[in-house]
Amino acid sequence: EKVALAATALEEKSKRGQSFRQTILYELNNQRSKKTEVEGEADFESLCRLFDSFLSGCGREAIDVSNAKMAMILSQTFYYIDRHDDNSVDDRESRVYVKNRISHHSIWSDDEFWDHALEQCVAESLQKSGVLLNYVKSSVDVRAVPNKCIKWHDLAPSEYADAAAQVHSVVFAQLGTLAHSMLEMDISGSGSTARACNFVRRLSIRYQLPLNLRITLLNHLQNNS
């Protein structure tokens, strides 16, 4: 069976397995720009099986964490319409998303995965924003810093405070997004809010997020659970 062979390949914890996982992500990304509804319950269940195997093959290396994050996003995109749901008013209410089938996966209850995911998201956002590079001063000899890799100690006290505020803003946004994803991937809701709040508290301390921002995130989680 093709699905079984593909599932086995996706579960491989090797470079080859990583290559398989990146290939299927590429194909799914192409498909979602064309059509996200999966017609046929059997095809939908096969897709869910591949997602499950995909996640089982992901370790905690940077590439695997990145792949798992993208799989999480895609799982909230592809869906099947349950025609047997008599309580639904329209097709949108009858949609069953892939995320509903993979919410049981052990990766979502692994703190290490979420920690690495946040680290990756923050690093990517900071690189795109170029926070430190915005503070290149005429007094800084950028020729002495390879590729203009400005460090915190290159900043003046006033610039440090402003740059730190921007970094905190990035951490706040990414932490909030991942905490929400943590809730999204626990369909049962059993203990998900408590886990998300613990995640926010723990990582807020690690990233030295100001108390007022921590409270804002926690209140949002508790009020929307």
The Cα–Cα gap between 58 and 150 comes to 34
Question: Please, what's the largest Cα pairwise distance for the chain?
Answer: 70
Residue of 151 and 122 predicted with greater confidence: 122
Residue of 34 and 156 predicted with greater confidence: 34
Model's pTM, two decimal places?
A: 0.83
Q: Which residues contact 160 (CB under 8 A, 6 or more apart)?
A: 152
Q: How confident is the model at residue 137, as a pLDDT?
A: 47
Question: Mean pLDDT score of the chain, rounded to an integer?
Answer: 86
Q: How confident is the model at residue 185, as a pLDDT?
A: 87
Q: How confident is the model at residue 49, as a pLDDT?
A: 97
pLDDT for residue 57 is more than 50:
yes
Q: What share of the chain has pLDDT > 90, as a percent?
A: 66
Q: How confident is the model at residue 164, as a pLDDT?
A: 82
Q: How confident is the model at residue 138, as a pLDDT?
A: 38
pLDDT for residue 100 is more than 70:
yes
**Structural tokens at position 106:** 């052990």
What average pLDDT does this structure show over 68-78?
Answer: 96
C-alpha distances out from residue 116 to 47, 55, 107, Å: 26, 15, 12
C-alpha distances out from residue 92 to 67, 83, 157, Å: 28, 11, 53
Across the chain, how many H-helices and E-strands are there?
9, 2
Which of 18-32, 113-127, 145-159 is least confident? 145-159
C-alpha distances out from residue 108 to 59, 89, 178, 195, Å: 13, 31, 11, 11
Q: How confident is the model at residue 88, as a pLDDT?
A: 56
Q: How confident is the model at residue 143, as a pLDDT?
A: 45
Q: How confident is the model at residue 129, as a pLDDT?
A: 77
pLDDT tens per residue, range 158-217: 666 777 888 899 999 999 999 999 988 875 555 688 899 999 999 999 999 999 999 999
